[in-house]
Structure 1
Amino acid sequence: MRILVVGASGTIGKEICNVLAHHDLIRAGRNGLDVSVDHTSVQSIKDMYSKVGKVDAVISAAGGANFASISELTPEINERGIESKLKGQINLVLLGLDYVNDGGSFTLTTGVMMDDPIRFGASAAMANGGVRSFVKASAIEMPRGIRINSVSPNIVQESWDRLEQYFIGFTPVPASRVALAYRKSVEGAQTGQNYEVY
């Protein structure tokens, strides 16, 4: 399988590449090892697909959001989650449909905060929930047998030291375990799913 991994150099992205190393991987990101892309830019996404050509699967392990209390959350602070986590990932699908082979797949990334809220996490939860809803709704309309799923990771062990203050009482999971859900999405048969790794 020829698989495009956006966000391949990130904590989870690296583990996705490890678990799917038996496939032909194209590693993309801002500092992409194979191809560069800014997934918040429509033109950059178009350029990436033009360079890469046809693939069997697209995985997005990219997307960020700002942490802020609801009383400090401004439209500008909230915009990062909308542009990066929500629109960026959805645009990878909308602009990539013609590049995914028949029977291929898209796998996007959500996150635990939409199901188990934390302080300062409203913006991220909003973006995650939007992605999950898009995946569920678009699955019934995907053309040519293309599947679409999302993976919802818990806080990962590799980020625990940096983010523990936000995830009080959570049990972190290894990124290698999260990566298995992406493999399930790509190599499996389900569609419209949000695989929770909590």
Structure 2
Amino acid sequence: MKILIIGGHGTIGTKVAAHFSQENEVLIAGRTTGDFLVDIKNSSSISKMFEQAGLFDAIICIAGEAKWDNFDDLTEDDFHIGLNSKLMGQVNLVRIGQKFLNPKGSITLSTGILADDPVVMTTSAAMVNGALHSFVQAVALEIENSIRVNVVSSGMVEDAYEKYKNYFPGHNPIPMKKVINGYVRSVNGKGNGEVIRIYN
């Protein structure tokens, strides 16, 4: 299988890419490093990446950002960071990427536990994650060529525990193997329109 991983050099992406590389051809796209460079906030950049990369059997996105801050301190522009990057960036990867997938291919997006269990300072990120869950469920009803679209939603992962533990009091860190298996389920399984939650 030929797989494109956007964000394949990040905390989660590195482990996911290493796993799939064992038995597949994996190419990495990123903002500053990778086999291809892409800014997912820019649909022209997404189109250029796919035109350079060609056809794939699976596309995985583990990229996108949103502003974390107290609600009263978030400006309209702050909200647009998440809307333009994590939300529309991944929506555009589906919208454009479907044309560069072989029939019966798959697209896997990424969100997180904040969609269902938000914590303080995450109004924008929680909003974007929830929107992506609804998007995946809806687009699966319409996308053609037997393409499947799912989203992996993980809790705070082990490899980021020290950095984020103070934001998630009482949350149990998710083993990286469990997170990887969420992406395996999406890519190698038959599910479509699924929100694959890995919260404990």
Normalised to the residue count of structure 1, the TM-score between the two structures is 0.97
The answer to whether structure 1 residue 181 and structure 2 residue 185 are counterparts is no
CA contact 1:11–1:175 (8 Å) conserved in 2: no
Structure 1, unmatched stretches of 5+, are none
SS in 2 for 1:165: helix
SS in 2 for 1:164: helix
State how 1:1-198 maps to structure 2 within 5 Å: 1-21=1-21, 22-198=23-199
SS in 2 for 1:20: helix
SS in 2 for 1:96: helix
Q: Which moved more, 1:109-118 or 1:171-180?
A: 171-180
Distance in 1 between the 2:97 and 2:174 partners?
31
SS in 1 for 2:119: coil
Give the letter aligned to residue 14 of structure 2: K
Shift of 1:178: 0.6
Give the letter aligned to residue 143 of structure 1: E
RMSD value, Cα: 0.9
Question: How many residues get paired?
Answer: 198
Give the letter aligned to residue 13 of structure 2: G
Distance in 2 between the 1:37 and 1:126 partners?
24
Give the letter aligned to residue 78 of structure 1: F
Give the letter aligned to residue 192 of structure 1: G
SS in 1 for 2:46: helix
Normalised to the residue count of structure 2, the TM-score between the two structures is 0.96
Shift of 1:144: 0.8
Distance in 2 between the 1:159 and 1:80 partners?
22
CA contact 1:8–1:32 (8 Å) conserved in 2: no
Shift of 1:60: 0.4
Shift of 1:76: 1.2
SS in 1 for 2:131: helix
Over residues 9-65 of structure 1, what are the superposed CA-to-partner deviations in whole Å (9 max), with x where a residue is unaligned? 001101111221111111111123211111111111011000001111110000111
Distance in 2 between the 1:180 and 1:35 partners?
25
Distance in 2 between the 1:48 and 1:83 partners?
18
Structure 2, unmatched stretches of 5+, are none
CA contact 1:6–1:62 (8 Å) conserved in 2: yes
Over residues 128-181 of structure 1, what are the superposed CA-to-partner deviations in whole Å (9 max), with x where a residue is unaligned? 011111100000111010000000010111111111121111011123321111
Percent of aligned pairs sharing the same letter: 38
SS in 2 for 1:88: helix
Shift of 1:80: 1.2
Give the letter aligned to residue 153 of structure 1: S
Give the letter aligned to residue 172 of structure 1: P
